[in-house]
A and B are shown apart, each in its own frame.
Chain A
């Protein structure tokens, strides 16, 4: 294998933005210590209609855990587990009560395929969920030559629909209960709701859709916004039976977590290209964020290759970390830089404002969950903050 082939192979395995399904298919998945997916599966095995909320920082591996949980659940003979990436099916900026119930119904309908759901009111549910066509002479607006027009379903609902119609909840509940009496338990796993920025919309979804799905006896796992851990967001979390936090790994304190991250690197890198020192350094500089670990490993590979090296060493990692940190510092407001400097020099950080939360959401500040949350600046920006402190 030529040097270029060796590095290309390495780079192909360090794709931080690739679809997590692809990483699982390629057998890159390494179970983290006390994996959330394991906890969720064990609970759902004995409480199939329990409700689970997963929250955590960006790039911590939430979607991977959801997919692994689905895979394990699908392996159980009395369970159908359906994964739905909400953002692929529905505009998240138009989130309204009823969206999850609608998507759940569509997913069920798709799962059954040709053997359609045998319930008399199901067509009404489908029309509500996916929209329907009307034909000429009722409220005539010519969209096509025959005068037919499409009436949008819940997937793009008009703002005048504030709640899920009760008759729809009833149809859904009766139909799914009928199905589950005859067959396996249904479990739905909803992804991407952590990207919802409208707090009220998310709260309404939790209040109405989660309740409707639970009422129908369906198990539920949902990835939600990290603010569900804070203040009024806590009310949303309280509507679930179990809350699971996928936080970065505190590599300074958590020996098992550190070993896990090293295993992730070794599984992907293969032998003879990444030195042990470089791997240790990558784990340290990632701050315990999985996606950042992989992205840094890739950038370090870039640096080594373009400098003519045969293996990736500490210096290449440091160069990659410098680039990573510089990108992470772009666009910070002066008061945010002051907050970061303060945290870096004193260890003090109090989450009081949206700006503080934004520093966590954008991974400039990492939050480690223990008995008490601990905060640290992302390791790749530490040295840059030192530079700023020297030359204000």
Chain B
């Protein structure tokens, strides 16, 4: 038996990122090693489509590369990949440079499970910033039970004063405000295609 991070579907993970607009939030998304780059691109697209933001995507080659990229992009959501080629020295270097990685927005590391293990082993200072925000990408959404989904929908109806049908109608007319809770609402109603 192996302990893995909590599974999360891409859209659900994107909501988590968007709902944390505070300075220097760090997340890790574990993806199958051969497809990490594609997942990073898909996540950036998801963030764009749900949150109406323009995330910056970097494929990092070296520890120095990540510091330079982060320093250039103090603001806006960063999606970083390329860590699967990192060795112990790269992680240690990154850990030593942690103070230089402080940002004003969220940063997401998309990486394979082995690379995440290396991050925890060799970069304990940086990994402490994740604070448990490591997720395992899955196709299916295991995050909410049907009861929890209904509770969440009820709270969204309460928050907006609209019904499900009204939200769908607004989305079909392209009049839905570009706020993450509306996107989440459509996803919970299994009408995520209206976000495209």
Interface check A164, CB cutoff 8 A: no
Q: Does the CB pair A391–B155 fall under 8 Å? A: no
Q: Does the CB pair A295–B99 fall under 8 Å? A: no
Q: Does the CB pair B6–A326 fall under 8 Å? A: yes
Known: A331-B121, A387-B1. A11 touches B129 (CB 8 A): no
CB-defined contacts of A322 to chain B, threshold 8 Å: 6
CB-defined contacts of A363 to chain B, threshold 8 Å: 124, 128
Q: Does the CB pair A11–B125 fall under 8 Å? A: no
A71 and B119 alpha carbons, distance in the complex (Å): 34
The 8 A CB mask of B167-184 against A (1 = contact, 0 = none) is: 000000000000001000
CB-defined contacts of B100 to chain A, threshold 8 Å: 87-88
The 8 A CB mask of B107-119 against A (1 = contact, 0 = none) is: 0000001101111
Interface check A292, CB cutoff 8 A: yes
Q: Does the CB pair A331–B117 fall under 8 Å? A: yes
CB-defined contacts of B23 to chain A, threshold 8 Å: 15, 18-19, 22
Q: Does the CB pair A358–B121 fall under 8 Å? A: yes
Inter-chain contact count A-B, CB under 8 Å?
162
The 8 A CB mask of A9-20 against B (1 = contact, 0 = none) is: 001100111110
Interface check B41, CB cutoff 8 A: no
Q: Does the CB pair B24–A323 fall under 8 Å? A: no
Query: What secondary structure prevails in chain B residues at the interface with A?
Result: helix
Known: A308-B148, A326-B134. A11 touches B20 (CB 8 A): yes
- Number of B residues near A (Cβ < 8 Å) is 57
Interface size class of A (residues with CB under 8 A): 35 or more
Q: Does the CB pair A197–B132 fall under 8 Å? A: no
Q: Does the CB pair B118–A11 fall under 8 Å? A: no
Q: Which of A16, A325, A392 contacts B1 (CB 8 A)?
A: A392
Q: Does the CB pair A15–B16 fall under 8 Å? A: no
In the assembled complex, the CB of A288 is this many whole angstroms from the nearest CB of chain B, namely 15
Q: Which chain A residues numbered 82 to 117 have a C-beta less than 8 Å away from chain B?
A: 85, 87-88, 91-93
Q: Does the CB pair A327–B130 fall under 8 Å? A: yes
Interface check B81, CB cutoff 8 A: no
Known: A195-B98, A197-B92, A291-B131. A306 touches B3 (CB 8 A): no
Q: Does the CB pair A16–B129 fall under 8 Å? A: yes
CB-defined contacts of B119 to chain A, threshold 8 Å: 331
Q: Which chain A residues numbered 1 to 45 have a C-beta less than 8 Å away from chain B?
A: 2-4, 8, 11-12, 15-19, 22
A19 and B99 alpha carbons, distance in the complex (Å): 9
Known: A306-B15, A330-B113. A323 touches B99 (CB 8 A): no
Q: Does the CB pair B131–A331 fall under 8 Å? A: no
Q: Does the CB pair A330–B120 fall under 8 Å? A: yes
Interface check A50, CB cutoff 8 A: no
In the assembled complex, the CB of A21 is this many whole angstroms from the nearest CB of chain B, namely 10
Interface check B143, CB cutoff 8 A: yes
Q: Which of B98, B118, B151, B159 contacts A307 (CB 8 A)?
A: B151
A291 and B97 alpha carbons, distance in the complex (Å): 19
Q: Which of B4, B5, B120, B155 contacts A362 (CB 8 A)?
A: B120
Known: A291-B131, A329-B3, A330-B134. A4 touches B181 (CB 8 A): yes
Q: Does the CB pair A308–B97 fall under 8 Å? A: no
CB-defined contacts of A296 to chain B, threshold 8 Å: 131-132
In the assembled complex, the CB of B158 is this many whole angstroms from the nearest CB of chain A, namely 8
Interface check A384, CB cutoff 8 A: yes
Query: What secondary structure prevails in chain A residues at the interface with B?
Result: helix
CB-defined contacts of A192 to chain B, threshold 8 Å: 96, 98-99
Q: Does the CB pair A388–B1 fall under 8 Å? A: yes
Q: Which of A8, A295, A306 contacts B144 (CB 8 A)?
A: A306
The 8 A CB mask of B130-156 against A (1 = contact, 0 = none) is: 111111000000011000100111111
Q: Does the CB pair B151–A308 fall under 8 Å? A: yes
Interface check A67, CB cutoff 8 A: no
Known: A15-B23, A87-B97, A323-B6. A195 touches B131 (CB 8 A): no
In the assembled complex, the CB of A214 is this many whole angstroms from the nearest CB of chain B, namely 25
A91 and B63 alpha carbons, distance in the complex (Å): 12
Q: Does the CB pair B19–A302 fall under 8 Å? A: yes
Known: A295-B132, A308-B151. A330 touches B3 (CB 8 A): yes
CB-defined contacts of B134 to chain A, threshold 8 Å: 323, 326-327, 330
CB-defined contacts of B121 to chain A, threshold 8 Å: 331, 358, 362
The 8 A CB mask of A357-392 against B (1 = contact, 0 = none) is: 010011100000000000000001000100110011
Q: Which of A325, A361, A387 contacts B124 (CB 8 A)?
A: A361
When C-beta atoms are compared, the residue in chain A nearest to B25 turns out to be A17
A298 and B129 alpha carbons, distance in the complex (Å): 12
Interface check A324, CB cutoff 8 A: yes
Interface check A328, CB cutoff 8 A: yes
A328 and B5 alpha carbons, distance in the complex (Å): 9
Q: Does the CB pair B131–A324 fall under 8 Å? A: yes
A322 and B16 alpha carbons, distance in the complex (Å): 17
Q: List 12 A-B contacts (CB under 8 A).
A: A4-B159, A16-B128, A19-B102, A58-B124, A87-B98, A91-B97, A93-B92, A197-B92, A308-B153, A323-B5, A323-B135, A362-B124
Binding site for A on B (CB under 8 A): 1, 3-6, 15-16, 19-26, 28, 30, 92-93, 95-100, 102, 113-114, 116-121, 124-125, 127-135, 143-144, 148, 151-156, 158-159, 181
